[in-house]
Amino acid sequence: MADTPSIEQLNARLAKSPFNSWLNLAVTKIEEDAIEMTAGWREEWVVNAERGYTHGGILAALVDVVADYAIAAKHGMPVPTVDLRVDFHRAAKGDMRCVGKLVRLGSQFTTAEAYVYDASGALCASGRGTYFTAPPAPPKA
């Protein structure tokens, strides 16, 4: 397993992904088995112009990325998603605070969960994913 990356290293990795950059994601805190990130709200996230709330697909993406980066904070890099379940609790508006937590770090598969809170601190979405953490196969000779 790789050395634990710093906040700066994880933010640099986020910045390399056009989609994660578009989500305005930034790591703000790393703990033993958890990570905290912010997602700066974007006008393009709005699904209903009259009400101004965020599309559920954005919330699902935040759950996926933040859970994955909880693994990256421990494993050294993000890994492929195998399965993802998301629950929506309320409409979301404004900047988001996202918390990812490791549930089980495995040699083949890892489980992590994430929680997305709106600017008022209300829980808007949560979810749990399974991620493929097996090392890559050695190259064929």
Share of the chain above pLDDT 90, in %: 84
Instruction: Check whether 47 has a pLDDT greater than 60.
Output: yes
pTM reported for the whole predicted model: 0.93
- Provide the mean pLDDT of the chain: 94
Instruction: Check whether 2 has a pLDDT greater than 70.
Output: no
Mean pLDDT of 11-22: 95
Distance from C-alpha of 98 to C-alpha of 45, rounded to nearest angstrom: 16
Strand (E) or helix (H) holding 60: helix 56-75
The candidate with the shortest Cα–Cα distance to 67, out of 18, 116, 32, is 116
pLDDT band at 141 (very low <50, low <70, confident <90, very high): confident
Mark residue 65 as left, alpha or beta (left: phi above 0; alpha: psi -120 to 50; beta: remaining): alpha
The per-residue pLDDT for range 64-83, each reduced to its tens digit, is 999 999 999 998 889 999 99
pLDDT band at 25 (very low <50, low <70, confident <90, very high): very high
Mean pLDDT of 95-105: 97
Q: Provide the pLDDT for residue 4.
A: 83
In CATH terms, the superfamily for domain 7-132 is Hotdog Thioesterase (3.10.129.10)
Instruction: Check whether 7 has a pLDDT greater than 90.
Output: yes
